[in-house]
Amino acid sequence: MLPVNRGRAPHRAGMDFTDVKRKPSVLSKVVLALVLTVFCVYILKQSPGIAGTNMFSVHEPGVTHVLVTGGAGFIGSHAALRLLKDNYRVTIVDNLSRGNMAAVKILQGLFPEPGRLQFIYGDLGNAKVVNKIFSENAFDAVIHFAAVAYVGESTLEPLRYYHNITANTLTIMEAMAAHRVKTLIYSSTCATYGEPEKMPITEVTPQVPINPYGKAKKMAEDIILDFSKNSDMAVMILRYFNVIGSDPEGRLGEAPRPELREHGRISGACFDAARGIIPGLKVRGTDYPTQDGTCIRDYIDVTDLVDAHVKALGKAEPGKVGIYNVGTGRGLFALAPSPIFRRSVKEFVEACKKATGVEIKVEYLPRRPGDYAEVYSDPSKINRELNWTAKNTDLQESLSIAWRWQKSHRNGYGSS
């Protein structure tokens, strides 16, 4: 007799009829996985510690977020490097008209961690762009470097300088006020003093600038000071002198646009002459009332200058304004055992020849429009109040460090 099948489907080899019962379980697992995925994505987006872009848009306890305008430039990039080394969060805004994107990429390579550094391409002359940048980022402080900065060029293009320096600073101030950013470190210049009757220059020396660059910077200072009178903003204004040198570890250097060499720093011209890019060095002005007829300047190493900005940032207090000269001071002359950077142009050229090992050809020409005979600072106020003093005061050594970068970057950052 055959067995009776009592309502069950016959079993066939290789077939499992429990699949029908498992389908609901599999479906529920899929749904649960989707729910968890959506939840995790939501958490990631809400967490400033994980979401890369959002880390810059929120204030985080224990982290100071600094906007560095002009951070792709020579001084600005060195400042960004120092801030990052000191664990600040940094946003660089630059339109790259004078800066180098390659410098920013070097910084990004050194500090790749999320929330450390971001670069925003932007023109400070566009108020809508500036306001958007401020609305999308939670800045705690601004260090305002961005500016065209050549005395000779300013005499040829004065309107450009007033727009780029004065008007753009006004735009920055309006954005800071609107978005309640309470700390400003302003990068100014000794050019605001013009040709003082007495040396050394102190912070109370009358400001009577004699070229559009100095005038535009003084106007920007006036805007900042007028606003600060009815504000609790912490303001530091640093008036600095002639900047030389570069990063001692060789990561960053100075690489101006080729078309700007005519207006650039004397150190850049010396290096160009030593490398044969230009036939020789042109020294403008030999009839100044100085010991050898050439201009006397107060030179400061870029690492010391950056250190002054960082110290100013750390010491800035709400509702207070600090104004400081950043230079090496009067000190001693070149033959003293401890040389300082108050040197004539001729002395500077001799130091550059020694640093490069090249006998640079020098051509002496008439004065450059807008230049002044003798400028050096009294840094005692910044020494006293910010505990800052210039440390890299060997002129030849600073030039040697800068020269090493120049030799290994013959096409600027393009060859790095």
At residue 411, the pLDDT reads 85
Each residue of 122-149: pLDDT tens digit? 999 999 999 999 999 999 999 999 999 9
Each residue of 25-35: pLDDT tens digit? 666 666 666 65
Each residue of 272-316: pLDDT tens digit? 999 998 899 888 899 998 889 998 889 999 999 999 999 999 999
Q: Within its chain, how far is the Cα of 45 from the centroid?
A: 30
At residue 329, the pLDDT reads 80
Active-site residues: which are they? 213
User: Is the pLDDT higher at 334 or at 270?
Assistant: 270
Enter the pTM of the model.
Answer: 0.83
Q: What does DSSP assign to residue 208?
A: B
Mean pLDDT of 61-79: 98
The whole-chain average pLDDT of the chain stands at 87
Long-range contacts: 353-360, Cβ < 8 Å, 24+?
354/396, 355/396, 355/397, 355/399, 355/400, 355/403, 356/270, 356/271, 356/274, 356/399, 356/403, 358/273, 358/274, 360/270, 360/273, 360/274, 360/280, 360/281
Each residue of 317-338: pLDDT tens digit? 999 999 999 999 853 333 333 4
Max alpha carbon distance in the chain (Å)? 133
Q: Examine the pLDDT at 341 and tell me if it is beyond 70.
A: no
